[in-house]
Chain A
Amino acid sequence: MAQHTLEVIVENSPGVLARVAGLFSRRAYNIERLSVGPTDNPETSKMDIVVNLEGHALEQVIAQLDKLINVIAIKEIVPNSAQPIVHDTQPDYQN
């Protein structure tokens, strides 16, 4: 299985990391690697999440992540590709 990196822009508010980590835990998805850092905008943070998932399971992770109210945007960074796949949370992947 190929590793996929998700670049997730989240609101910089307390509890967001717990929401993301809890989602992975309760839906039984494994996180390979996770890092959190600031962005140019002090109101947002960026999470890089590396998962070992493909196809359908990966789509589910993205769809479920996108349901978190504090998640603003998700990009999938494909290895060997300059152009990331943008999972635009607005409006298609929103609930």
Chain B
Amino acid sequence: MSQMNGASSLVASLEAAGVDVMFGIPGGAILPAYDPIFSSSIRHILVRHEQGAGHAATGYAQVTGRVGVCIATSGPGATNLVTPLADAAMDSVPVVAITGQVPSVAIGTDAFQEADIRGITMPFAKHNYLITDPADIPRAIAEAFHIASTGRPGPVLVDIAKDALQKMTEFAYPTSVSLKGYKPKLAPDAQSITDAADLITQSSKPVFYVGGGVIKADASRELMELAQLLGAPVVTTLMARGAFPDSHPLNLGMPGMHGTVAAVTALQKADLLITLGARFDDRVTGKLSTFAVNAKVIHADVDPAEIGKNRFADVAVLGDLKHSIAALIPALKFALAKNRPDLTAWLRQVNSLKATYPLGYAMPTDGSLAPQYVIERLGKISGPETIFAAGVGQHQMWASQFVSYENPRTWLNSGGLGTMGYAVPAAMGAKVGAPDTTVWAIDGDGCFQMTNQELTTCALNNIPIKVAIINNESLGMVRQWQTLFYEGRYSNTSLESKRIPNFPMLAEAMGCVGLSCERPEDVDATIEKAMNINDQPVVVDFRVARDAMVWPLVAAGASNDDIMIARETAPDWDSQEL
């Protein structure tokens, strides 16, 4: 034990928790902590907006599998963290946020820069703390890291009153954490594994419905073994892209609102969903009452509250997915030895759909750029080790569809909350976590204008990310819905111009290299030029056709049976044997 003030105790605790980097901005209430940060081994990256700090922590966590850390002052500093923390909650990302709070005697008095950030984050944070006694700091930090990173990961906020940072205290970091009300379950019950294996052997149309939990649990290798053992088709949700290689013949692609015909239809026609770390989100199921009506459900997840939340589970496998899948492999081998179902007809059906309805797009006839083509070339040229981070909207869906993901933790996006502006700061955090890997942000022009200020942070801190702006001078996804569902009345979705702002000049102003491209024949050379700049961030303004749409589409609230492959065009079901 040693005597120090609360601020030093905080920084010593963060060091003891293994933090190597944090993203933040100082201010009055957190100021005492910034003094020991100045001499700490922890790298502090000074961002330009606290939202950037939060998403950067998320990007760092998604790429490394470690806890991402952000830090801000009280009041507006803390409230600016609300969006990224809500985002991290929806996508189960381990993040710890440290905020300064006004001095404890001022709490509740509407003091300058006071906001009840514990109360504000209570609805979505996995847990949070308000610390007014410096003696509580090490325990709170240890618990916060434990809670954020175990079980179903999530954001934890530690709010610390300024006087708690200033007062003297004894520092002793706890050697272990024990919480009466929190004991995540690692190993699944043996019976649930046997039941799951038995149910699988009774199925003739099984599908692996794979969610982001597989990536969180680092269970991709186990999934590969399980999928190959059974030889059943696999669908990877938006959060699970990369959990199973896109190039694998069993992979049908992404299910859901903009999923492939094969993935969506395989779920609809399945007699068994082997659900691994997925949560039957409305964007996947469409109208729930018509989702996979003939399927039984095995639901493996670490979060008991997900079992049966949206869809009844015939077999619940509760536990960490790495353990659960690892346990299922020998159990299934044993069960298959006695009774191996014949999946030949089922595989023929789904492969026929996959061959008949591949993802595709039309090249514009006027010589303008197809956004899908740009994204496809980005994926091809930069290769399967590259990390991609997307914003939210059309470009996000195309980035999920037209880049081939071969490895886990190479695809970052805001799946649950749908946070526009996620891409640039998340890419920044990803690059800090994986400095030797190429990181591309694929962003929309609408999204980019929400958080591009972090490019200054990147330029000044040697974080050379690459940004592809898919510039269609529109809030494209909303515009697409207006085209389809509001008779083309484009209320407030036009951003008016591909030239204002001048994105390459804006990039240059922030210390980045700015490039632009508007002809298909220039795409490859422009991407290669960007790939060869590694000492500075690069921004490429791809000026693309405005009217491109994301297909396939299951309209919001519609049944997955009503998937459209183009405007007013359904798949030709009569030609399919289903």
Q: Which residues of A contact B (CB under 8 A)?
A: 10-11, 14-15, 18-19, 22, 26, 56, 59-60, 63-64, 66-73, 89-95
Contact = CB atoms under 8 A, between A and B. Distances in A.
B308 A95 contact: no
B38 interface: no
Prevailing SS type, chain A contact patch? mixed
25 contacts: A11-B181, A15-B118, A15-B122, A18-B122, A19-B122, A22-B122, A26-B123, A56-B308, A56-B312, A59-B308, A60-B305, A63-B304, A64-B305, A66-B304, A66-B305, A68-B181, A69-B126, A70-B181, A73-B181, A91-B183, A92-B185, A92-B318, A95-B151, A95-B152, A95-B304
Given A15-B122, A64-B305, A72 B180 contact: yes
Contacts of B304: 63, 66-67, 92-95
Query: 3 nearest interchain CB pairs?
Result: A63-B305, A72-B181, A69-B127
A56 B309 CA distance: 8
Given A18-B119, A94-B182, A94-B184, A69 B308 contact: no
B289 to A, nearest CB: 15
Interface in B155-208: 179-185
Contacts of A56: 308, 312
B181 A95 contact: no
Nearest to B127: A69
Interface in B109-157: 118-119, 122-123, 126-127, 130, 147, 151-152
B182 A69 contact: yes
Contact of B185 (A11, A19, A67, A94): A94
Contacts of A59: 308
B302 interface: yes
Nearest to A60: B309
Contacts of B181: 10-11, 68-73, 89
Contacts of A91: 183, 185
B376 interface: no
B97 to A, nearest CB: 16
Contact of A95 (B118, B122, B303): B303
A64 B302 CA distance: 13
A66 to B, nearest CB: 7
Given A71-B181, A92-B318, A94-B151, 15 more contacts: A15-B118, A15-B122, A15-B130, A56-B308, A63-B309, A66-B305, A67-B303, A67-B304, A69-B179, A91-B185, A94-B182, A94-B183, A94-B304, A95-B184, A95-B304
B436 to A, nearest CB: 35
Contacts of A70: 181
A69 B309 contact: no
A33 B151 CA distance: 32
Nearest to A10: B181
Prevailing SS type, chain B contact patch? loop
A10 B179 CA distance: 12
A15 B180 CA distance: 17
A18 B152 CA distance: 22
B414 to A, nearest CB: 20
A92 to B, nearest CB: 7
Nearest to B302: A95
A60 B312 CA distance: 12
A7 to B, nearest CB: 15
Contacts of B147: 69
Nearest to A23: B123
A67 B179 CA distance: 12
Interface string B10-38: 00000000000000000000000000000
A75 to B, nearest CB: 14
Contacts of B119: 15, 18
Contacts of B180: 11, 72
Nearest to A15: B118
Contacts of A94: 151, 182-185, 304
A90 B318 CA distance: 13
A44 to B, nearest CB: 8
Interface string B357-400: 00000000000000000000000000000000000000000000
A59 to B, nearest CB: 7
- Quick one: which of A59, A89, A95 has the most chain B CB within 10 A? A95
Contacts of B308: 56, 59-60
A69 B125 CA distance: 11
Contacts of B182: 69, 94
Interface string B282-318: 0000000000000000000011110111001000001
A66 B179 CA distance: 13
A28 to B, nearest CB: 13
Contacts of B185: 91-92, 94-95
B126 to A, nearest CB: 8
A11 B179 CA distance: 10
Nearest to A59: B308
A57 to B, nearest CB: 10
Contacts of B303: 67, 95
Nearest to B318: A92
A63 B304 CA distance: 6
- Quick one: which of B118, B180, B302 has the most chain A CB within 10 A? B180
A67 B122 contact: no
Contacts of B123: 22, 26
Contacts of A66: 304-305
A66 B184 CA distance: 11
Nearest to A71: B181
Nearest to A64: B305
A94 to B, nearest CB: 5
Nearest to A94: B183
A59 B305 CA distance: 9
B151 A14 contact: no
Contacts of A15: 118-119, 122, 130
Contacts of A64: 305
Contact of A14 (B126, B130, B179, B309): B130
A24 to B, nearest CB: 11
